[in-house]
Structure 1
C-alpha cells in the first residue's frame, strides 16, 4: 500500500519524499485546489507511461502539465498576449491554458499525446511547492482509475490506487473540488474546451470577450475531460430528477425535498443553501458516497446552469453518458 504523508504535519518530509519518488520515475498523488492529481515528471517518458498504465488512460488523451511559476511555463510554451493576460490574472488557480509547444521544450510528446500544443496550469497550494522543489513540470491528471469519479481527498486516492502507488500526499479535502477550466485562445477568440473550477463569467468580466463554447463536444480531443463518457460511477446515472425511487441514491441541490426521497436508498444535498461553490466542492465526494451505497442508480436533481453550475452539469452529464466507448 502507498505511504501517506500529512503535508500539514510534515511539510519538509513530504517535499523531500515526493521529489525522491518523482526522480525515480514514479507517480505521486499530490493535493491541488481542484482535485488530487497523479503527478509524474513530464520530461520522462517512462514516468508518463506509468501514469497512463496506472489510470488505464487512452494514449490519445493528453495530460495537463503543471508548473510552479511563469519562468517554468515560458521554457515550454509560447504565450499570445491574451493567454498571458489570463494567466497573470488567474494563476495560480483552476485555469488550464492550451498553448503552442516550444520546439526546444523538454516535455515529452507522450504527455501532449503527440499534439503541437500543451495544456499548462499553475496550481495553488502544496503541489506548487513540490513542482518548484522538483524543478521540472509535472504531468498530472486526476488520481483515479480512468473514467471514474475524480478524488477530492487522500482517502479517495488510497481506496482507488493505493495498491499501485508509492506515495500519497495528504493536504485534506480539495478546496474547489472540480477540475480546472480549460481555455484555448485562437484567432483572438477565447474557446472553452472544458468548464471547471474557474467561472467562465470571471474570464468574460476580465476580458470583455464572450467565451465561445464548442458546437460539438468531444469531436477533437485537445484537452483532458473531453471524452463523452467520463467521471462515471458504477451505478447508472439519471439527470434532472423530479422524484426519487426506492432503489436510487438521490443527490439534489438547494435544500428542497423531492417526492419519493423518504424511500430512497440515500439522500444527499450538494448545497442546502443553493451555493454553487459548495456544490462543486461536494460533487465528487457525494458521487462516491452514493456509489458506495449499493443503489442501482444515482438520481441528480436539477442544478442551475449559471456560474459553476455549468461545470457541475458538465461532469454529471458525462457521468451519465453511454459507456460503450473509450474511457478517459
Structure 2
C-alpha cells in the first residue's frame, strides 16, 4: 500500500478526509501523540486499524470527535460529562460513557457497552474530523506495545506501507496520552493518567475521583475499559531501567559504553563521560513528558545500544503520567545502585 504523506494545508486535510470517507486509515496529529484514524462507524475500516497496529481485538479504541455535537448520536452524555467537557474540551481528557444501543461498533468498544470519547485540542485534526463527517477511532499511531509516536517521522517508521496517509502537523506538545476517566463507575475513576490531573478533575466535579491506575488489574478473560490497562505498552525492544536523580553519581559508575541515559538538562551537564550516549528530557516536567517517547524510540533504533537508563520525575501532577508510562516501558526495572542490575 502507498502511504500518502500529507501536510496541514486545507488541500491536504481535504484529501485526508476523502481517504477516511473511503474507509482507509489515516494517521493524524493531536496535542498528546499521533493517532491512527478510521471511520468509527465502519467495522471494516476499524479492522484495518487493528491490523496495522497488531492490536488485540479486545483492547478498546478511543472515539475522537471534532465537536461535541458529533458524540450525541453514539453515547449517553451525563451531567458529569457535560461539566468535564466544559472545563477540559478540547483537550487531553478522554471520558468513558454508556453507549446508545446499536450505535457504536463492538470493535471500537472491545465488546463492552461503554465507549471512550475524546475531543483533541489540535485544530488540524478537528477540521479533518468535521470534514470527514463522522467520529474516528484514535489509538496511538505505532506498532502495538511500542513507544507512542510524537512526530510524523515516528508514524512513518512504524506505519509506512500499512496505512493510506499521514497528516504532519509537527511535534506534539504534551507527549503522553490523554487522561482517561470512567464516568460509568459509581465513583468517577481515572483509568489512565495524563495531562489532566486527579486534583483538577475533583475540583470541577466537586466529588471524589478515584485513581485506579496502580491497583486496577485485568484478568486474561476480561476486556479492559480503556487502552493501556491490560497489554504491554510503550516498551522498546531494549531493556529500560528507571533511575532516581538522587542515584545519579552511582549510575555514572555503572554505565557501559553501550548504555544510553535519558535525563534532564541539569543532570546531563554533570555527565562525566562526554561520549556517553544521552538524550535530553529538557528543563522541566512538561518538556520531559514531550521528550520521553521520542528518546525511547531513538535509542531503540541504535543497534549498539544495550540498555536505556531514564530519569524518574516527582510524583505530582503530570509527573504521575510520565512515571506511569516510564514504568510500563521499563517493565518495572529499577536502578538501585552500583551493585544492582
What TM-score do you get using the length of structure 2 for normalisation?
A: 0.87
Deviations 1:139-162 (A, max 9, x none): 110001000011111111111111
* Residue aligning to 1:177: 175
Match for residue 252 of structure 1 among 247, 263, 266: 263
1:130 to 2:128 alignment:
yes
* Contact kept? 1:218, 1:228, Cα under 8 Å: no
Shift of 1:302: 2.6
* Residue aligning to 1:326: none
Change (3 A) 1:58 1:315: same
* Residue aligning to 1:91: 89
User: Which of 303-312 and 285-294 deviates more?
Assistant: 285-294
1:288 to 2:297 alignment:
yes
* Residue aligning to 2:324: 314
Count of matched residue pairs = 317
Match of 2:262, SS state, is strand
In 1, distance between residues paired with 2:78 and 2:265?
41
Match of 1:189, SS state, is coil
Q: C-alpha root-mean-square deviation of aligned residues, in Å?
A: 2.1
* Residue aligning to 1:56: 54
* Residue aligning to 1:325: none
Extract unaligned runs of 5+ from structure 1: 323-328
What TM-score do you get using the length of structure 1 for normalisation?
A: 0.91
* Contact kept? 2:260, 2:305, Cα under 8 Å: yes
Extract unaligned runs of 5+ from structure 2: 333-341
Match for residue 28 of structure 1 among 5, 20, 26: 26
Deviations 1:50-86 (A, max 9, x none): 0001100000100000111121111111122112201
1:237 to 2:240 alignment:
yes
Match of 1:268, SS state, is strand
1:279 to 2:288 alignment:
yes
In 2, distance between residues paired with 1:79 and 1:19?
26
In 2, distance between residues paired with 1:54 and 1:292?
20
* Contact kept? 1:248, 1:264, Cα under 8 Å: no
User: Which of 113-122 and 224-233 deviates more?
Assistant: 224-233
In 1, distance between residues paired with 2:272 and 2:141?
32
* Residue aligning to 1:5: 6
